[in-house]
Amino acid sequence: MLREELLLTREDLAKYPFLPQSLHLLEEYGLRITDLITDKYLLERAVERATSRNYVPDLTDPLREVATLALSILLCGLTRDNIVVRRFADLESKRVSKLFLQREEERKLITIARVGFGLDVEYSSGLVKLHFTHYLRYSPRGDPHWKLVNRIVERGYVELTVRELARLLEEAYERWLIEKCQRVGQEVGSTELCLEVTTYVEQVRERLRRGRGEGPSPRVRTRISGDPYPPCIRNLIEAARAGENLSHIARFTLASFLLNVGLDVDEVVKYFENLPDYDEKRTRYQVEHIAGLRGSRKKYLPPSCDYLRSVGLCPGECVPGIRHPLQYYRLATRGGGVGGEDTGSG
């Protein structure tokens, strides 16, 4: 039986430069990062890869793509900016995910899962089975669709579609990138190395920050400085500020809560500016829909505490008797006790 690595072509190594076989190319050619930073073309290409949704890999030259990815990680890591790192990881992982779904046969995707990420995955007749430990490690949090209790599990393996496996590989790659960037930021101590690429580091920082702002405006910050916000909402606000990639239900919860406590659409949109996949037009449309300004014209309430617990968004730090985030807010702002009030959310 042929080793799975033999299924990977030269083109695959260019498309997926994170694969071990791809990374070994740098060793084979004796190239180090100090060699790569002297190549202006590679540095410019690395900036483009780190910041553009339209980056196109050169499938004829895997060594170039491996070098470009290595430099992208270096430049983002040297910003020592978690928001920049997360936005780069989001862009890069989503671009690769499209290749998984649009261009790869199922057998090749299984090979990438095994060889690239060490996943314990089985495949037969169009059905993917992933060991539950790896499933739990990479499945999106806070989304009922991915909760283990909602999946078919047999002999410790979770049944998935090929598309779902591709989504988990996207998550695995994104985490790999974040880890690599953070390690660079911590370990690279050479002032000479940093000075060599300072211009390119600043280009990456500026492009990934452009049009996104540096966080909520001073007006918004004053609205969250007190205690009226329940722990679940405070956690979501901090996660959004830190540039974490919030789940759909987390975003809905935060937006609907803020709208229902009196913030307007513009103020709410600002809370999402640091998210790695932030798109102002799309975010504004979704917030307006939640506010009842679009679609059915129904203004949505945030989910109940029971539901937030079921999707892992309740930190379990609330006071007894609270059944809804808005109940917490209203009691806190009125200085009342706990329990006894219903938001009418059902």
> Tell me, what's the pLDDT at 204?
96
* The pair of three-digit structure tokens given for residue 76, joined into one six-digit string: 């983002």
* The pair of three-digit structure tokens given for residue 88, joined into one six-digit string: 């780069």
Hey, which of 78-87, 205-214, 335-344 has the most confident mean pLDDT? 78-87
What does the pLDDT average to over 304-327? 85
Rounded to whole angstroms, the Cα distance separating 163 from 320 reads 42
Q: Please report which confidence band the pLDDT of residue 3 belongs to, taking 50, 70 and 90 as the band edges.
A: low
Quick: pLDDT tens for 24-44: 999 999 998 888 999 999 999
Assign 153 to helix, strand or coil.
Answer: strand
What does the pLDDT average to over 142-151? 79
> Tell me, what's the pLDDT at 218?
38
Closest to 72 (Cα-Cα) out of 35, 37, 112: 37
Rounded to whole angstroms, the Cα distance separating 16 from 31 reads 19
Rounded to whole angstroms, the Cα distance separating 67 from 72 reads 9
Report pTM.
0.71
> Tell me, what's the pLDDT at 225?
40
What does the pLDDT average to over 176-193? 81
- 141-149 — which CB contacts under 8 Å span 24+ positions? 141/247, 141/312, 142/246, 142/247, 142/249, 142/250, 142/311, 142/312, 142/313, 143/247, 143/248, 143/249, 143/311, 144/249, 144/310, 144/311, 147/311
> Tell me, what's the pLDDT at 223?
42
State yes or no: pLDDT of 75 exceeds 70: yes
State yes or no: pLDDT of 343 exceeds 60: no
What does the pLDDT average to over 172-193? 83
State yes or no: pLDDT of 155 exceeds 90: yes
CB 142 within 8 A of CB 310: no
User: Which of these ranges, 38-52, 64-78, 214-228, 233-247, has the smallest mean pLDDT?
Assistant: 214-228
Q: Please report which confidence band the pLDDT of residue 215 belongs to, taking 50, 70 and 90 as the band edges.
A: very low
Percent of residues, the chain, with pLDDT higher than 70? 87
Rounded to whole angstroms, the Cα distance separating 131 from 62 reads 31
Strand partners, 131: 157
DSSP character string of 293-305: SSTT-PPPPPPPH
> Tell me, what's the pLDDT at 213?
43
Rounded to whole angstroms, the Cα distance separating 314 from 233 reads 9
**Exposure string over 126-164, b if 16+ CB within 10 A, otherwise e:** eebbbbbebbeebbeebeeebeeeebeeeeebbebebeb
CB 114 within 8 A of CB 4: yes
Between 1.20.930, 1.20.1300, 1.10.10, 1.10.3470, what CATH number should domain 4-209 receive? Answer: 1.20.930
State yes or no: pLDDT of 221 exceeds 50: no
The domain ranges of the chain are 4-209, 222-334
| Residue appearing with tokens 């918004």 | 220
DSSP 340: S
With residue 29 as reference, give the H or E element that holds it.
none
> Tell me, what's the pLDDT at 6?
55
Query: Which has more pLDDT, 276 or 160?
Result: 160
